[in-house]
Structure 1
Amino acid sequence: MAKRLVILGGGESGVGTAILGKKKGFEVFVSDFGKIKEIYKKVLLHHEIEWEDEGHTEAKILSADVVMKSPGIPEKAPLIVKLKEANLKVISEIEFASEYTEATIIGITGSNGKTTTASLTYALLKDELNVALGGNIGKSFAQLVAEDTYENYVLELSSFQLDGIETFRPHISVLTNITPDHLDRYDYDFNKYIASKFRIAMNQTKEDYFIYDADDEVITKWLSEYPIQSQLLPFSIDKKLEEGAYIENKNIIIKTKINSHTMPITNLQLTGNHNLKNAMAASTVATLLRIRKDTIRQSLESFQGVEHRLEKVLKINNVVYINDSKATNVNATFYALDSMESPTVWIVGGVDKGNEYEELLPLVNEKVKAIICLGVDNDKIIKAFGNVVDIMVETESMRDAVQVAYRLSEKGDTVLLSPACASFDLFENYEDRGRQFKEAVRNL
């Protein structure tokens, strides 16, 4: 008799898992507490997969042999607690899909930089390898595994996806950095969040590689207390390393047991130290996978960055408008403000995930001339920066925020959308927020 696979959540990862489950002979049922988008409903109907939305039928769910829950559902959700009490296996889509592929997996996680690093790694590999990009970005891993046979996967992985793994083992794992984020999901305990990120290496062996930021004290401290099995390849912009990647005379030097490369950094399209680190991480992966030095160099020099991450939108009356909607935590916004070189009108706010704004104070003091709050509840932002910035305006729509920014900015200024918060109070997601910003700017 076919095993029963129940999928909670009918979004990208849920539908991908459903397609793969059906292909592998499972009896599949998808259940979503909210509304499943039309685009996903069509896919489920096309594959003749049973589904329900706007509520869960418990009897149908508790009859599962295995349950895949979407990363957005917290472990503490009453239904998940019930499933665990019934001793039912609850896994993530990444775990489910990994059982059906023998490919080399490059897993990339971190509080910030993982989308850029994953996209850049894919760009460095795609000319010479059969490779797909997915996970928390683009198509779900499960759908990629169902639709094609790739020899390599570059996967962007969130801590929520890693929380649901048991045997998942990337051959190369990358940890870009760790700063407080999503603490609302980890009992406001930073150590639980750190442990979650390090799950990326929990099944690795000494045949595998772990690439990480050696300048990140949170990572190095954790590694010293909880050693991992894989071969360590650090990267650093401050120190010279025996193995890994570092900077010398405006070059990135990469040294592995297999080979070493030297890359000039003068022609990189991406700016800022954080992007230099993303480039080092991606180049280390490419070096391990024996990509030619020229290919790495050309791809690094032509890579433009990802949408909604310090994306230049337009210049109007000599004011530059920048979309950094993907900055959903304080640390990401720190990078954005740090890279500003002119007086800045800063649009900030949204759903706070336990943010502490203190680390931004020196940057705000130095660079920000006005703050435009864009959220349902802006009290914390007003409290944090009220004494630092002369002008603070509250708005409740992107159109208003951009029009206020237009009025407050002068020649030579920058208008920066870098919210430091999640977007779910006023927008569907950070992409929707970024697109509305770009539209409002174009309509000025």
Structure 2
Amino acid sequence: MNNNGFQHGNAAGMRIHVLPTKAFKTFAISLYAGVPLAEETVTSTALVPFVLRRGTASYPETTQFRERLEELYGAGFGFDVYKRGDHQIVQFRMDTINDSFVQSKESLLGESFAFLGEVLTRPALENGIFRSSYVATERETVRKKLESIVNDKIRYAAERCIEEMCKNEPYRLHPLGQRADLDALTPEKLYQSYNSWLDGAILDLYVVGDTTPEEVEKLVKRHFGRNTSETKDYTSRFSPVTVTEVRTVEEKLDVSQGKLNMGLRTSITYKDDSYATALMYNGILGGYPHSKLFVNVREKESLAYYASSRYDGHKGIGTIQSGIEVQNYGKAVDIITKQLEEMKAGRISDLELSQTKAMIRNLLSEIQDSAFEMISFDFNRQLSGKDRSTQELMDQVEGTGAEDVKAAADTFRLDTIYFLTGQKEE
């Protein structure tokens, strides 16, 4: 039992996390499957869930698959593919109404498990491999998603900055994979990849709702039919990268507006006791509309169409995104760098501290209102090996002063400046 209310156990080679509660009218079910990010497997792993959602052994046609969800009183089913640190995570979600609210002959939680277990372990096959029509269609789905990043220059610049900064690390890879690798993924190859992905993945299954860990473990054994009892764990291999010099990368494309992105590295990650100070650092620097980047770069100097920062606590990376007129490049770099120096010098007002705390407090208190947010907060704990409740994090944020933020600022080092500029010479 941990202080967020989740009870933890194991069954069928999965880690099980159950939060028994009557607070919600539905069961929230989330299954995370994580593997290390790797060039050889990133694209096939990304494509697998797209094919799995097309049909299962009992509901091979996509229409039957969707009708089955309707029969479960309109249960919701979806998935995501993303990266956390150097891992690629596939997350399946189901949202099912609690039996006590409907006249149902069968246990809806049990039926949902039967459905999810089949999605994961018994996909629709032809001749012992994935259906070729499903693979062909879903390859195009993934291709379009990857192409849409190139067309969205804000996202493109953010991705390219990370690629350049982490060019020798798995983190450079996009969680949806690489377009060049899609065509080689035949139904046969993809089916092989799926099997090795399923064997190798670290599996975490979450349930929030009116149930018990005992009931969930029974359902997992019955419906996930994995004959393994060995559970795997995320071994945190984080080693901070030392920045020796700032690299500048310029790329020319047909854009009317320049995109200036910067990548920073820090030694503070989610599992550190000083994680709250890094959250505060990011919030004051560029996380919110009252932040230094927004006020100074965008409002006071009118240099940027947008200017903000993000912090990835699983990787120890901070990023700055801004959109500027191409000719203002030098000026924008100067003024953004100046904000970084202000942070390092500890020039942080009481107002900046209190507004940032209020923003983080709101985000943390909203977690309690959503079963899936509670799940995702606890999953950070599984990834990092750090047990910290939302309340503890809130208390740490509340207790953070300007000196603490200054100490965090000292760990953030500018690593890469990436500038996406227009092709036309002015």
- For this structure pair, what is the TM-score category when the shorter chain's length is used for normalisation? under 0.3
Larger RCO (CA within 8 A; separation ≥ 6): 2
Compute the TM-score of the two structures, normalised by the length of structure 2: 0.22
Q: Which has the higher helix share?
A: 2
